[in-house]
Amino acid sequence: MTHGTFTPVTYYLMISHLIGRCLQVGESTKTTGTADQLIENTEYRLRVKAVNKAGVSKPVELSIPVTTKKKLRKPKIDARHWNDIVKKKGQTVEIECKYTGVPEPEITWVRVDEVSTSVTGFAVHTIPLICHLSSAM
């Protein structure tokens, strides 16, 4: 019995189907890959096509829709403007830090051996992307 010869897959195409239009959103030489150009919090029906020397396969649709989520980003603190602060007892101390991260990170201040979201003797005020530490008056 003779079996046909197979040409190995060269790469895979990932195609999104959204509101009646198809868009190639990724390409991979492996059976896993990353889809680019997708909008956050949007539901997509994804299809995959295999490509080899003989041509392109018919698309295969994933069995369930995929909803994109926000890309996670490690917390990062901008400390470019920080300097040593020397104050006499009773003087006001203020430290401000700008930060980024997805989801928004929880800020923790450290004073000597004290680690907390509230430092004894200091007021902590947090607004999105900026945290402000000032000594209590």
Lowest mean pLDDT among 2-6, 30-34, 39-43: 2-6
Q: What 3-state class would DSSP assign to 130?
A: strand
Residues 82 and 49 in one domain: no
Q: Are residues 90 and 128 in the same domain?
A: yes
- 53 and 92 co-located in one domain: no
Q: Which residue's structure tokens are 């003989």?
A: 54
The pTM (predicted TM-score) of the whole model is 0.46
pLDDT at position 110: 66
- What is the span of the domain harbouring residue 25? 11-67
For residues 96 and 129, state if they share a domain: yes
Model confidence band, residue 50 (pLDDT cutoffs 50, 70, 90)? very high
Task: Judge if 89 and 129 occupy the same domain.
Answer: yes
**2 part of a folded domain:** no
Q: How many domains is the chain built from?
A: 2
Plot region of 109 (φ>0 → left; ψ -120 to 50 → alpha; else → beta): beta
77 and 131, same domain (yes or no): yes
Task: Note whether 45 and 92 are same-domain residues.
Answer: no
Tell me the per-residue pLDDT of 53-95, one tens digit each, with 9 for 90 and over.
999 999 898 888 888 887 788 888 887 777 777 777 777 777 7
Q: Looking at the predicted structure, is the pLDDT value of residue 3 above 60?
A: no
Q: Are 86 and 67 in contact (CB under 8 A)?
A: no
Residue 55 covered by a domain: yes
Instruction: Kindly indicate the confidence band of residue 130, based on its pLDDT and cuts at 50, 70 and 90.
Output: low
* Greater pLDDT, 95 or 12: 12
Stretch 10-32: mean pLDDT: 81
